[in-house]
Chain A
Amino acid sequence: MYVYNLVDQSLVNQRVQQFRDQVRRRLSGELNEEEFKPLRLMNGLYLQLHAYMLRVAIPYGTLSSKQMRALAHIAVRYDKGYGHFTTRQNLQFNWPKLKETPDILADLADVQMHAFQTSGNCIRNVTADQYAGVAVEEIADPRITAEVVRQWSTLHPEFSFLPRKFKIAVTGSKRDRAAVRVHDIGLIIKINEAGEMGYEVIVGGGLGRTPIVGVTIREFLPQQCLLSYLESILRIYNQIGRRDNIYKARIKIVIHELGAKEFTRRVEKEWKTIRDTAIDLPVGEYERIRAFFAPLPYQSLPKNDAGFSHLKFENQDFSHWVRGNTLPHRQSGYSIANISLKPIGGIPGDASAKQMEVVADLAEKFSFGEIRVAHEQNLVLPHVKQTDLYSIWNTLKEHNLATPNLGLISDIIACPGMDYCSLATARSIPLAQDISNRFSNLRRQNDIGELSVNISGCINACGHHHVGHIGLLGVDRKGEEYYQVTIGGSADENASIGEIIGPAIPYDEVVDAIERVVETYVDLRAKNESFIDAYRRVGKQPFKENLYVTN
């Protein structure tokens, strides 16, 4: 993992002192709310329905055991004993007190964490594939790129007041787990014919009010040109982005209105003037950062362990968990262990302080002290010996963290919705709980197979409903919660925006409607055909016909 140097640490420490003084001035009345609001937002502090909310940055979803323990400590000491992992691989505390927020930031700084750029019209916390460095099919580790982008974008003076927020995601695999095509900039690491590393650069993707799949504006950008090219994209956007209309201020609208060809021309023209300047990092700096992500001291182990196979044979529940929640690792004899934060009927993404401590302990004992956060709101132990999986599973089970539902219908993405969020127009979480309870039978879930249900409580789409195989968008209809259903969305390498199936339906009818959609799929699917493949084959009509049928 990356470790702060003196510059990183002093930057974070200075910000804590700065914010401590800003809070003092706010509480004393030297600053009014209008003056203070942009300052608190620069430190991830929102004012939500019931209280303040602090969003902590987890760069590219990578956490150490020590950092996870610090989050657990903050949850207990300053909050109500839990936190919420988000679709941006971050963590939100729902109940911090303003007067204690500087102390929270100081505790975060002690473990090399902060809340910079988790809000505001700046380059937000960079996200990446949660299996970075361990996925079997990976071409190159995206964490090096993500760390370079993190350092470049942190407090970047030119890009601290963009027309709107700006999100960058990186993947180093052909299988896209970072949803790069629905980010403002998506980077896919590629190796060219000469064996050189570079990026496919995708721009203008996004969800929210106007969901769009991004367009590739460069098939191959040499790695050493990354920052000058990003700088060029951001500079063009910063110049012509719509500051007059918040709904048209994202880069996707700029590209839509200008055309991808013209936007690319302007970027390339700008790039010609700044490439090969000091903006780009020297190779040595890439190597310095790469050293933090060097291969770990894995043991040489056989691909299959007889004892592990025996335990799977003896214990069906363990076997189900291994099959559902673990994946092969690059290193022989090791696995990637996913920890579901979606217990049946639970709150997606929530973890108690105790659960955080348990995960921190497991990571320290079994995974080189490393944890990942997935944008699907689950956690990952990325480097686990097969022979340790049984012990890990037993501990996870004791703490309600072993639900074997990864990628299944109960592995629901849900934003906090109107239970917490001041922007929301409807609740997300209780609907997720109801759907999870309805499909609680794991045998049935496995029979249905891979199926994502994503729920957003408003058009801002924090629950990524547009790219759920089934998406639900909560809307207000004269004070009542209604939900618009979309089908056919996908956030992976074949990204697509879900189609609206018809009129929104009231809260009480949603779960039955989802069940009818699922049963429609089960009835029409070909052998081994997934929900999304079936949808793409038959279109929306059969689903629409059944969605609105009522008895």
Chain B
Amino acid sequence: MSLLEVKELTKSYNGTLAVDHVSFTLEERTATALIGPNGSGKTTTLSMIAGLLKESEGSIHRDFKSGIGFLPQYPQFFPWLSALEFTEMAAQISGVDGKKVRQQSIRTLEFVGLGSAVNKKTGTFSGGMRQRLGLAQAIVHQPKLLLLDEPVSALDPTGRREIMDLLKSLQQDATILYSTHILNDAEEMTDQLLFLKEGKLVEQGSLSEVKSRYAEPQIRLLFETEQAAVLFESRKLWPMQRDRNVIALPISYEGPSMQQVMAVLAKEESGIAGIDKQSASLEEIFLKVAGKK
């Protein structure tokens, strides 16, 4: 069942289209990664769904009454408020029952790893702590839809891992739409990929669907020496590409199967040191889609 339906969403600034007729749906309890190069319209799209920007055209249909949780790319807090005061304020504005506000705020801050900093002023927070607090204020009212703009881009690897683990655990109760340019993260937590380029949605589907559209699986042969690789290449058994002592054989209609390659290599002293099968990474797909006219 779809939780959010975006139809022909468009945003123009003085005739320049920042988001150009984008349509997609979000199913309940799924994670959707919004990826694309800088300036492709990711933040504008999220801002329109969050209600911070008014769409120029199109519609956003939400099939739920509870609020949205929104985490901007660089969350800013009132520096004179403590983490608990800010989270409580966020909970109260979002309609959390007055009696539950304190308890729910403390529990949320503990959940994001700020249990020991509840009474610290936000003005003293580090980048990682701000991001955690940003997440806390976004989830304190237990929204059905979480919109996260680059939730981990400002964090170090440890912080990123922790926040990604938190987000994965949230997926059990909420639908998550997040933008990112860290493709490993997108690969790690996504049921649907939305690829924006120059404001247009140019790719859409599950990770495996997108990969299958762009993937060019290869068999990679690692030879002990470059001469051995040159010798194997000179036999011109199949279409192949050589990079020093590594040969890549595209698995396509004309290409070989793994069994065929293994059979050839087993017959003779080929100087083979290793063999593996690779499919295109999301980064390769990103570069292809970003470069596609």
Q: Do A and B come from one complex?
A: no
Please give the residue numbers on chain B whose beta carbons come within 8 Å of chain A beta carbons, in ascending order. Answer: none
List residues of A whose CB falls within 8 A of some B CB: none
